[in-house]
Amino acid sequence: MFYRVGNDDALTIMELGQQSLTLVASVEQAPVDFMRPRQHIPLSFIINEPQCVFRQIFESTLRQREITLENTIELWSIESIKQCVAGNLGVSFLPRFAVEDELKRGTLVELPFSETPLTIHALCAHHAGKAISPAMRVFMQCMQEEQEAR
């Protein structure tokens, strides 16, 4: 699964629709106002690699608001990011579906970040003209069924 950043004729693409993004923190985190511009917030931003589209959206919004954070912690695993945030090591900005269970269980809380919902367009793609393995076919079916259930 990936998020649309352009077109590529070499790929066969299955649309998975819009996915909302959310800013999350530990339930122990004191309330923080990410809507107020021109401030320094003494928290860490915990996220994955710099090319990540939701990281780019978050950092761009902070730059527009002239908000700085203490530092950025890069991890390669969404699960590790969620555990660090739940442990009150910082905040993260992730697709809502990735943190939905934690929000329901109360191990993470959502922080206000935007007056209008921020979204990304999720896709599942494979190389056009190449054979699809049985495992990939099952994965694509599961993704499509999950999307239709929403």
Residue-level pLDDT at 6: 55
Domains of the chain by start residue, with CATH: 2-149 (3.40.190.290)
Per DSSP bridges, beta strands 119-127 and 2-3 are antiparallel
- The interaxial angle of helices 96-105 and 78-86, nearest 10 deg, is 30
Alpha helices in the chain (DSSP H): 53-65, 78-86, 96-105, 134-149
Cα separation, 142 vs 124, in Å, equals 11
Instruction: Over range 79-104, report the average pLDDT.
Output: 97
Q: Between these two residues, 61 and 10, which has the higher pLDDT value?
A: 61
Average the pLDDT over each of 78-82, 114-118, 143-147 and give the range with the smallest value. Answer: 143-147
With the C-alpha atoms ordered 84, 88, 94, 100, is the resulting torsion angle positive or negative? positive
Cα separation, 64 vs 75, in Å, equals 25
Residue-level pLDDT at 123: 81
Q: Between these two residues, 145 and 62, which has the higher pLDDT value?
A: 62
Q: What is the pTM of this model?
A: 0.83
Residue 37 has pLDDT above 80, yes or no: yes
Residue 7 has pLDDT above 80, yes or no: no
